[in-house]
Amino acid sequence: EIVLTQSPGTLSLSPGERATLSCRTSQSVRNNNLAWYQQKPGQAPRLLIYGASSRATGIPDRFSGSGSGTDFTLTISRLEPEDFAVYCCQQYGSSSITFGQGTRLEIK
Amino acid sequence: EVQLVQSGGVVVQPGGSLRLSCAASGFTFRDHAMHWVRQAPGKSLEWVSVVTWDGFTTYSADSVRGRFTISRDNRKNSLYLQMNSLRAEDTALYYCAKDALGSSNWYYFDYWGQGTLVTVSS
């Protein structure tokens, strides 16, 4: 199975700052089939990005995804208070879907 | 409005069995593959299983293969997960999730249920 490794584990930033989250995969992801989710405490995950760089419906344009092959990035250009949450990447390039372990974005 | 409404949480003994259900509305259920994804306490997400639109093809994670069976009833717009030979490590919040794109293939998840807490403990 494809293993996804996210870094950093925790990112401490202030509102208005730029956040850069990394997701690296153990094998190249077919067709860059990688998605990003946001999860807040007590809530189900929310789809942010699919196909490595396409924003899901209703997602603000401060969220962007990039990357290909084994190296992917989620960028939040200017952090809003509601953006502090856990972010998780997911690959769907193979039959066995796998997730990363998550990055916690906390207020500094 | 898309809704995925799951059955309530439960405590089950190790070695026991349980069936989870998920009732879908607000979209054409039979047009989409459906998934189960779980999250152990304090842990990240783990994909469990998928069923294609017609129920004929299923695929599961190694950790549950042979113990868990996913199924669906398109007449009732419902998804199920039959869980047998439960272990302590199966304790988690189980989410049903709608595949965003696929009917006969599977991709990513655009809608999620509220989750069902399954606790395996004696």
Helix, strand or coil, per DSSP, at residue A61: coil
At residue B105, the pLDDT reads: 85
Residue in the block written with tokens 């490595």? A52
The mean of the pLDDT values for chain B is: 96
What is the per-residue pLDDT for B83?
Answer: 97
CA-wise closest residue to B97 among B27, B42, B43: B27
Give the up-direction half-sphere exposure of residue B12: CA atoms within 13 A in the CB hemisphere. Answer: 22
What's the whole-number average pLDDT of chain A? 97
Q: Which helix (H) or strand (E) holds B95?
A: strand B92-99
Asked if A44 lies within 8 A of B95 by C-beta distance, the reply is: yes
Residues B44, A45: C-beta atoms closer than 8 Å: no
Over residues A2-47, the pLDDT tens digits come to 999 999 999 999 999 999 999 999 999 999 999 999 999 999 999 9
Is the model's pLDDT at B76 over the cut of 90? yes
> Under an 8 A CB cutoff, do A97 and B50 touch?
yes
pLDDT in tens, B14-71: 999 999 999 999 999 999 999 999 999 999 999 999 999 999 999 999 999 999 999 9
Residue B105 DSSP label: S
Q: What percent of chain A has pLDDT over 70?
A: 100
Average pLDDT over residues B68-84: 98
Nearest CA-CA distance, residue B9 and chain A, Å:
15
Q: Residue A35: which of B46, B50, B108 has the nearest Cβ?
A: B108
Contacts of B100 in chain A (CB under 8 A): 47, 50
| % of chain B at pLDDT higher than 90 | 93
Phi then psi for residue A77, to 5 deg, are: -70, -45
Q: Which residues of chain A are within 8 Å of residue B44 when distances are taken between CB atoms?
A: 88, 99-102
Closest CA to B34 of B94, B93, B95, B99: B99
pLDDT of residue A55: 98
